[in-house]
Structure 1
Amino acid sequence: MRLRSTVVMLAVAALVIAGAVTVVARATTAEVAATSFAFGAPVEDDGADCPVALPGSLTANSKLPDPFTKLDGARVSAKSDWRCRRAEIKKLAETYVYGEKPGKPASVTGTVSNTGITVNVTQNGRSSGFSASVQLPSGSGPFPAVVVLGGSGADTATIRATGAAVIDFDPLEVGREGTPRNAKQGAFYSLYGSSSSSGVLAAWAWGVSRIIDVIEQSGGSILKADAMGVTGCSRYGKGAFAVGAFDQRIALTMPIESGSAGVPVFRQAPGESGVQPLSSAYEEQPWLGDAFGSFTSDPTELPVDTHEMVAMVAPRGLFIMENPHIDWLGARSGSVAALAGAEVYKALGAADNITYSSDIQDGDHCASRPEWRTPLQQNIQKFLLRTGSAPGAFRISYSKAGNLAEWRDWQTPTLSDADPVRPPDQRAAAGVH
C-alpha cells in the first residue's frame, strides 16, 4: 500500500511538521535570481578568508544548534553575514565531525577526455593520483556533469538523457574502507598521512574537489566545471552530502538514503526506533573524523548538527532522497535535518532550491524509483543546464515525518537583502552592484 505523503511546494509555501503544515512565504523570482552562487560558486571555499575562533568549551544542548547564531553570540541579520557564518559552520563540522578537508594541493594536474579523467596531486614532497571514467550524453558539448560516487546514486540513464555527463568515481581509490583509524589508506592519506584524523568522507570530498580542479584546467571543451553535480546512495550518499557541503562549486547535491553519518540529524538518532546507532556508524568504517568518537553516546554536546551541513549547501541546489521503509536509514531524522536546513534556504531567499522526497513505494535499498525521475530531471535542468525553473518541493512520508518544532528553540530571522555571500571584489567581477 502506498504511503500517505505530505506534499510541500516551497514555492507555494509549506513545510511539513509531523502531519501539520507551517506556511512560509514564497521566495520571489527576483530574490532567487539575486541570491549569489545558486548555481555554484567560482571557488571551492568562498569563506576561506573569514576568521573563525572556536569555542573554548562545549555546552550540552538537546535542541538543534541555531544556524543563525554566530560563535560570538550575535545573530545573523543580513544575507551578507552568511558567507562568514557558513565558514564557522564549516570549521565546526571539520573539527568535531568529519576531520579537516584540506584545500587545493600545491600541484594538481591531469587530463579530461570523452571517456575519462586523470588526477595527479603533489603536496609537501608527496604525490598521489587517481582516475574516474566519463560517460557523455548525446549531442555536442561542453556538458554539465554529475559525479556518481561508487557506481551508486541517482539514475544515470535519466541524468544522461536529461543532458548531463556522468563521471563514475570510485572514492575508495582516495579513501579506503576497512582500514584502522591509525593506518588509513588511499590517495588522500598518501598525501596527508595514514594517521590523519580526517575520516574517509572528508577524503572523498577532497577527491571530488580535485576532479573539479582538473576539469577547470582542461579548457572546458568537454565538461563544464561551472555546472557540476554529485550523487551517491547509502555510504556513497554520505559522501555525496559531504562533497556538496564542502565544495561550493557543486551546483547540485543529491544524496540518497545516506543514513547515520549522512543527512539525518545526530541528536534525534538515539531516539529514533531502529536507526543505526551513532557508535555503530562511527565504528563500522572510518567515515567520520576521529574526533566524532567523543560524541557517539551523547551528541548533545556537539556544537553543530547535520541541518547546518544542509545549510552549508545553501543557496545551491539540493535534492535529498530517503527511504522510509528501512528503519536503519533514519529517514525521520533526515526529514528534521532537511526541514531545519530549509529555514536557511528560506532566509537567503532561495526556498525554491531545496527538494526532499521520502514518499516512495519501493522499499529496496538504493533502488531506481519512478517518484524521483521527474524531480531529478527538473533539478538537472534548473541547476546544471539552467533551462528550468521548477520550484523545490518536500514530499515526506507520513510514516517518517519528523517534528521540527520539537528540535529547535530558535526562529528564522528576516535577513536584509544585501548580497548573501560575495565579497565586494567578486560582486564587481560578477556585475553585481
Structure 2
Amino acid sequence: MSLLIPFLLFSVTSFAQELAPATCDVQLPSFPPIPTLPNPFELVNGTAVADATTWSCRRAEIRAMLEQYELGIKPPKPSSFEASMSGNSITIRCGENGKSISFTATIRPPSGGGTGPFPAIIALGGSSIPIPQGIALITYNNEQMAATNPGGQGLFYQLYSTQIGGLMGWAWGVFRILDALDALGPESTNIDPTRVGVTGCSRNGKGTLVAGAFDDRIALTIPQEGGSGGPGCWRLAAYMKERGINVEDARQIVTGDQWFAPYFKNYVDDIATLPHDHHQFMALVAPRGLLVIENSGIDYLVRLVSHGSSHCMMPASQNPELTAFVNKFLRGQENVDTNVFKTDGNFDFEESEWIDWEVPNLAE
C-alpha cells in the first residue's frame, strides 16, 4: 500500500488557500548540472522564495521548466470551443487554425442518490480507486486524445505540434472537460465545477499529475502508482538504476512510450543536467489537495517514494485517507486532517544526500 504526501506540500499549503496572483517575467537561463534535488525555493535569479508572491513566481518558473525541457508547451484554450450535453454524455468540439476535433466524456452519477450539483472526479483510463458515495465519476478516452504508441498520433495532434508529449495531450483533454463543465453549468451537468478532482493509475497517474499541476481549477489530484515520470523523481530513479534495481528511469521511458516531448531525450543520459525534478512538479499542486498513492512492492515504480500492493489495486486500508481528502477538497468540510505520510517499506533514503536547502515558512 502507499499514501504519500510530499514534504513540500506541507510547507506551501499553510500560507494561504489561494495563491496571490503575481506578474512574473520568466526567463530561463542556462543551468549547471545539479546532482541533488533542485531547490524549489530559489528563483532562477538567485532570489529566495520568502512569501506567497515570490512562490507564485517560482511556480511559474517551475511550470516553464517542465514545459520547455520535459512535457512540451501547454496549448491555451482553443479559439473555437463548443460543449453540448445529451443524457450523461458531454460532447466537446474544439477548433484551431481551420481544423477541428470532437470527443466525448461520460458522467456517471454518484451512488446513493441525492439532488446535486455533485462534486466529481475525472478518471483517466477509468478509476482504480473507489469513488466515494455522493461523488460523480467522469471518464474520457485519453488514449484517443494522444496515443502512447506511436507518438504524435491522436486527436490532440490534429490541432497541435508533435513536439508536445502525450501526457500534456491527456491533460489538455481534462482541461477541456473543465471548460465544458463551466460552460454548460450545473443546471445541465448536475456537477459542481468548483469541486472537481482528477485521478488515474500507472501511466494515467503520470497524466493525472500533469493535469493537477497545470490547472488550478482542479481541487484534488490523486495520482496512483505513477512512478517515474509521475511523482517519482528522475534523480532517485537514476540512483536506483545505478545500483542494479529494476526501476524505469528516464532513459528507458523515452526509448519506449511517447509520453514526453521529444527534446526530453537531451537530458536522460545525464539527468543532473535537467534543472528541475518531480518534487517541484508535485509542489505545483499546492495549496490544492494532493494525495499520492504509490507502491513499494514494485521496484519499477521507484519504490524509494512508494509503498506495496498489487498494481492499480488500492487496498481498503487506504480508504480512510482517501475519504479524508475527498471530504476536505471536494465536499468542502473543514477541520479534516489530511496531513498524511505513510510507507510500509524499509528504505535507506538519506535526506541529507539529496536536499541541501531549507524549507521556508511562507506563512510569515
* TM-score, normalising length: structure 1: 0.77
Give, in angstroms, the shift of residue 153 of structure 1.
3.4
Written as runs of structure 1 = structure 2, the 5 A alignment for 1:165-204 is: 165-180=136-151, 184-193=152-161, 196-204=162-170
Runs of 4+ with >6 A deviation: 7-10
> 2:24 matched to 1:50?
yes
Q: Deviations along 1:174-198, whole A, 9 cap, x unmatched?
A: 1112114xxx1112111114xx211
Partner of 2:18: 37
For residues 109 and 233 of structure 1, what CA distance do their matches in structure 2 show?
A: 29
RMSD: 2.4
1:9/1:391 contact within 8 Å kept: no
Partner of 1:264: 232
For residue 206 of structure 1, the aligned residue among 160, 167, 172 is 172
Corresponding letter in the other structure for 2:171: A
**3-state SS of paired residue (1:228):** strand
For residues 387 and 379 of structure 1, what CA distance do their matches in structure 2 show?
A: 10
1:153/1:237 contact within 8 Å kept: no
Aligned residues: 353
Q: Return closer, same or farther for 1:218/1:377 CA change in 2, 3 Å cut-off.
A: same
For residue 258 of structure 2, the aligned residue among 272, 286, 309 is 286
Q: Return closer, same or farther for 1:290/1:124 CA change in 2, 3 Å cut-off.
A: same
> 2:62 matched to 1:83?
no
For residues 290 and 52 of structure 1, what CA distance do their matches in structure 2 show?
A: 23
- Give identity over the alignment, percent: 36
> 2:193 matched to 1:225?
yes
Partner of 1:67: 40
Partner of 1:126: 99
1:99/1:197 contact within 8 Å kept: yes
Partner of 1:319: 291
1:94/1:101 contact within 8 Å kept: yes
> 2:329 matched to 1:383?
yes
1:152/1:236 contact within 8 Å kept: no
2:5/2:290 contact within 8 Å kept: no
**3-state SS of paired residue (2:199):** strand
2:5/2:291 contact within 8 Å kept: no
Q: Return closer, same or farther for 1:414/1:130 CA change in 2, 3 Å cut-off.
A: same
Give, in angstroms, the shift of residue 404 of structure 1.
2.6
Q: Return closer, same or farther for 1:212/1:233 CA change in 2, 3 Å cut-off.
A: same
Q: Greater shift after overlay, 287-296 or 146-155?
A: 146-155
Corresponding letter in the other structure for 1:397: D
* TM-score, normalising length: structure 2: 0.90
**3-state SS of paired residue (1:395):** coil
For residues 106 and 248 of structure 1, what CA distance do their matches in structure 2 show?
A: 21
Give, in angstroms, the shift of residue 371 of structure 1.
2.1
Q: Return closer, same or farther for 1:226/1:9 CA change in 2, 3 Å cut-off.
A: closer
Q: Return closer, same or farther for 1:8/1:308 CA change in 2, 3 Å cut-off.
A: closer
For residues 262 and 414 of structure 1, what CA distance do their matches in structure 2 show?
A: 26
